[in-house]
Amino acid sequence: MFKNKKIIIFITILICMVFSGCAQKEKAKEVVSLKLTTYPLKVVDSYDRTVTIEKEPKRVITIAPNIAETVYALNKGEELVGRSDYDDYPVEISKVPAVGQLTNPSLEKIVELKPDVVIASTHFSKDVVKKLEDLNIKVIVLYGEENFDGVYNTITKVGEVLNANEKAKGLVEDMKKKVAQVEAKVKTASKPSVYYVVGFGKSGDYTAGKDTFIGNMLEMAGGKNAAADVTGWKYSIEELVEKNPDILICSKDYDSKKGIEATTGYKDLKAVKGGKLLEMDQNIVDRQGPRLAEGLEAIAKLIHPELFK
């Protein structure tokens, strides 16, 4: 009986080793598949187009700030040969030739740069895609859903296209970790009402409504979106005065704070009078790229500075 028991134990251990070995092999396969992209690569982009990339791109043009930032975050900046007028981060990108605006770049400049692939994002016209395709230029349009998962997906796809899968995986994991840390810190905190200033004054009043990614980020960062009663971006000064939120967040660029402090309606809000008109680099929130987790943390620090000492 003792002998049989030993046999059973031996078989159990053997089975565990076999399954463990299989698991390790599967894990190894996964690691190998993450390290290198196999070309030709078929990519289904956000316009539901299947684009075939024949070989690893060495000449890349970006037509979106978030995509440009992603390329650099993946350590592929040296392969960038062209960018849009709005692709301005990191600073070294200023040395890369500009090819025009997000919606209507110069086709001539793009052709001159002989890109292996053009990667664009939101606002990129389907007509421009067609014109570039007619010129035998590969175009991929990538933009995710209006949430962090959408951003992760875009980063992962750019990583796959540029053969930077491991770097993309690490980048996404780091972002997820930071998001989780921020949400954990603010989980039990009070939720002051927060109004995010997108535009104000003569050009109209704009903010982040309840269906926007930024509106959602205000909630994730431990605030209550003062504009949660509307969808989209348009708001009114009358509604804002009625809400009289605890905190206003504006861009630190373009003298936004000074303008708000001098604008009728805004200047009498309790947040403005009480020193709660707060500035931040809105690019890390407006652009759905690799700095977005930093953007979430920056908002949380403005809303709950006491939690981030």
pLDDT digits (tens, 9 = 90+) for 229-277: 999 999 999 999 999 999 999 999 878 999 999 999 999 999 999 999 9
Which among 132, 247, 269 is positioned nearest to 191, based on CA atoms?
247
What is the model's pLDDT at position 34?
A: 58
User: CA-CA distance, 155 to 144, in Å (whole number)?
Assistant: 9
Closest C-alpha to 52, from 62, 63, 39:
39
Q: Is the pLDDT of residue 18 over 80?
A: no
Give pLDDT, residue 3: 39
pLDDT at 103 over 80: yes
Distance, CA of 212 to chain centre: 13
Position 6, amino acid: K
Could you tell me the two tokens for 202? 């003569």
pLDDT at residue 249, rounded to an integer: 98
Mean residue pLDDT of the chain comes to: 90
**pLDDT confidence of 10, banded at 50, 70, 90?**
very low
Question: Which of 31-35, 90-94, 224-228 has the weakest average pLDDT?
Answer: 31-35
HSE-CB of 262 using CA atoms within 13 angstroms = 6
CA distance 219 to 189: 12
At 196-218, the pLDDT tens digits run 999 999 889 999 999 999 999 99
Q: Which domains does the chain have, with CATH numbers?
A: 41-172 (3.40.50.1980), 188-307 (3.40.50.1980)
Summarize pLDDT for 171-198 with one digit per residue, the tens.
999 999 999 999 999 999 999 999 999 9
Task: Please give the residue that has the higher pLDDT: either 26 or 140.
Answer: 140
Confidence band (pLDDT; 50, 70, 90) for 13?
very low
So what's the pLDDT on residue 209? 97
